[in-house]
A and B are shown apart, each in its own frame.
Chain A
């Protein structure tokens, strides 16, 4: 996957900012869908899933 280029600048850090202690926010629950078992990227996904590998483990092989 190519890297996304974002042209807009990040906000300036305000002076009184402090690192948040534990954030309790999480992602909204996902929906289960079927991926179409087609194409080279799916086959890579299937390989990772069947061998229970992560992206970086897969990259190394």
Chain B
């Protein structure tokens, strides 16, 4: 049954398989993506497996075993898949089964048999068992046998890792229709909503996970996405926030019980401390205070303590600043300015933290929308974005022949020339220095492309000039006049509950276009009063262009063309 299914018999789901958590999603009859809750009611299923006298536990039940049965519990194994032992970082597995070298791959020594004998289980076998469990949960929920999936992977997943994941999935009875990048899945989850509008925009997807954070800068043009830059950080993530809380509670514990011993120095106490700290962290994303309470934390002493969000934000300010820095670095790496970014999508479990969203919102200009639960009422749950995107893609390609999917994802199809500069039209004046450039096609748009604009004409109509140019984006910096402050204030007295310390010297940064190259000129004569001009530009795959301008509802029209570069 793990043989390739014929397209008609496929039941495909979306899987987001992470180091810390996994999710499964499907699309309902109306084309809406829904994340499936497993038997325990979890939508974020911990990617953890644990064995007690031969019985297998997964998800939340396995996570609870991290305290009592750490040596037979396998966690944080996703990134080990398809890797050589020398290139992995075993740090996150410190409190569970340790990864070991086994032939050319990574394995764990665990007692997974009834008679408690130790066996060596490779990471791909662990992955297969985990995926099989996910598949079964989805099959039970849907009442149909799930046999195919689209799985999300990080942008820096190597081909060897993808191959290993594909094989592990096949062993679990899942045909992998396609691997898609996690940040792109997040964009798709937003763009596939019925109320979403297609627009040309630059999007930053900040995927803040448990043990790693990934940022991608994506150019979205007419519903097609190109990754401009990515940044990865294995030192900032939810685990760092847990650590800050663990340190805080451990110190409070020591203050209260002088002879209690440091709970961080004992494996069992530290596992309890970590589980409860993570729970407190999640509670602080919803409420403004949370209780930490562990029975018999260390040396038989119970410990209860409360913390409010303000204190938490103060002690973890360093980690929050690191997130903002990571995002700004990625934007810089894409050779863009924060002003070029119209949306920041926060994904991953750590993105629930309100403070991270508000720090990002203040680091970017007001024109940038931060899509997170605390900053946008229309935001989707950040933990569900990847799985939803995968489910949407799965529903799109479910009916395709396997060969069709392979051909569509081949570099012959995906590698495409992207425009280096924006193409637009000059408005108001025919002089490049005084005219205003309005773009029709943004830079980094893949060709072929076709765009249409409706442009106003002078009030009295008559003869107009259509001047098509290439433009480059420039950031205009102006220092405001010292006295302009007093009057201009009235407009923006929004409820200032944040620490907005606008100093008088702050310069004004603006995004404008500079005309670089005139491509074509055309005239439209005898336009009627108040007429509008429709201009359509077509850029072919070889960069040759045609344009067509006409009066809306009128008879005046002109068309022209210019050649591809290097063919003059």
Tell yes or no: B309 within 8 A of A by CB.
no
- Name the CB-closest residue of B to A5: B454
Within A15-31, the residues touching B (CB, 8 Å) are 17, 19-20, 23-31
B279 sits at the interface (CB 8 A)? no
Residues of chain B lying within 8 A (CB to CB) of residue A24: 568
Contacts A36-B181, A37-B408, A39-B188; A3 near B428 (Cβ below 8 A) = no
- The answer to whether A27 and B565 touch (CB under 8 A), given A19-B523, A39-B188, is yes
Cβ of B224 and Cβ of A41 under 8 Å apart?
yes
Option from B393, B419, B517, B564 in Cβ contact (under 8 Å) with A39: B393
B428 and A32 contact, CB distance less than 8 A: no
Cβ-defined partner of A34 (8 Å) among B226, B389, B407, B543: B226
Q: Does B518 contact A (CB under 8 A)?
A: yes
Q: A30-B543, A31-B418, A41-B223 are in contact. Are A11 and B408 (CB under 8 A)?
A: no
Give the docked Cα–Cα distance between A42 and B456 (Å).
32
**Chain A 17-61, CB within 8 Å of chain B: the 1/0 string?**
101100111111111111111111111011011100011000000
How far apart are the CA atoms of A6 and B552 in the complex, in Å? 14
The residue of chain B having its C-beta at the shortest distance from the C-beta of A28 within the complex is B420
Query: Are B408 and A43 neighbours in the complex by a CB distance under 8 Å?
Result: yes
Could you say which of A7, A20, A25 has the most chain B C-beta atoms within 10 Å of its C-beta?
Answer: A25
Asked whether B568 lies within 8 Å of A26 as measured between CB atoms, the reply is: yes
In the bound assembly, the distance between CA atoms of A20 and B31 in angstroms comes to 52
Instruction: Decide if B411 is an interface residue (CB 8 Å cutoff).
Output: yes
- Whether B454 lies near A4 (C-beta < 8 A) is yes
Number of A-B contacts (CB under 8 A): 218
- Chain B hits for A43, CB < 8 A: 396-397, 408
Are A36 and B465 neighbours in the complex by a CB distance under 8 Å? no
Chain B, range 516-568, C-beta contacts under 8 Å to A: 516-525, 533-534, 538-539, 543, 545, 562-568
A22 to B198, CA, bound (A): 36
Q: Within the complex, which residue of B223, B407, B419, B538 is in contact with A27, where a contact is CB–CB below 8 Å?
A: B419
In the bound complex, residues from chain A placing their C-beta under 8 Å from that of B228 are 33
Contact in complex: A35, B565 (CB < 8 Å)? no
Q: Mask for B393-429, Cβ within 8 A of A = 1, else 0?
A: 1001100000000011101111111111101011111
The chain A residue sitting closest to B185, CB to CB, is A38
How near does chain A come to B220, taking the closest CB pair, in angstroms?
10
B421 nearest CB neighbor, chain A only: A28
Given A29-B565, A33-B226, A36-B180, answer yes or no on A6-B419 (Cβ-Cβ < 8 Å). Answer: no
Residue in B446, B517, B518, B522 with the greatest tally of chain A CB atoms within 10 Å: B446
Determine if B464 and A41 form an interchain contact, defined as CB atoms under 8 angstroms apart.
no
Query: CA of A48 to CA of B413 in the docked complex: distance in angstroms?
Result: 10
Question: Which residues does chain A contribute within 8 Å of B435, judged by CB atoms?
Answer: 11
Q: Is B317 an interface residue when CB atoms closer than 8 A count as contact? A: no
Known A32-B418, A33-B444, A39-B223; contact A13-B396, beta-carbon cutoff 8 A: no
B428 neighbours in A (Cβ, 8 Å): 8-9, 11
How many angstroms between the C-alpha atoms of A53 and B517 in the bound complex? 30
Note all chain A residues with C-beta closer than 8 A to B480: none
Contacting pair A38 B184 (CB below 8 A): yes
B563's closest neighbor in chain A, by CB? A26
Residues of B contacting A28 in the complex (Cβ-Cβ under 8 angstroms): 419-421, 470, 516-517, 565
- B452 an interface residue at 8 Å Cβ cutoff? yes
**Beta-carbon nearest neighbor of A48 in chain B:** B448
Q: What's the nearest-Cβ distance from chain A to residue B325, in Å?
A: 26
Contact between A38 and B180, CB atoms less than 8 A apart: yes
Within the complex, the shortest CB–CB distance from B90 to chain A, in Å, comes to 32
Q: Does B251 contact A (CB under 8 A)?
A: no
A-B contacts, 13 listed (Cβ < 8 Å) = A2-B197, A4-B453, A10-B456, A11-B426, A12-B462, A12-B463, A12-B464, A13-B463, A17-B465, A33-B228, A35-B225, A37-B408, A41-B223
**Chain A contact residues, CB within 8 Å of chain B:** 1-14, 17, 19-20, 23-43, 45-46, 48-50, 54-55
Chain B residues with a Cβ under 8 A of chain A: 178, 180-181, 184-185, 188, 191-192, 197-199, 218, 222-228, 389, 392-393, 396-397, 407-409, 411-421, 423, 425-430, 435-436, 438, 440, 444, 446-448, 450-459, 462-467, 470, 516-525, 533-534, 538-539, 543, 545, 562-568
Given contacts A11-B430, A11-B435, A33-B418, list 19 more A-B pairs with CB under 8 A. Answer: A1-B450, A4-B452, A9-B464, A10-B456, A10-B457, A23-B519, A26-B566, A26-B568, A28-B420, A28-B516, A30-B419, A30-B543, A37-B180, A37-B413, A41-B198, A41-B223, A45-B224, A46-B413, A55-B450
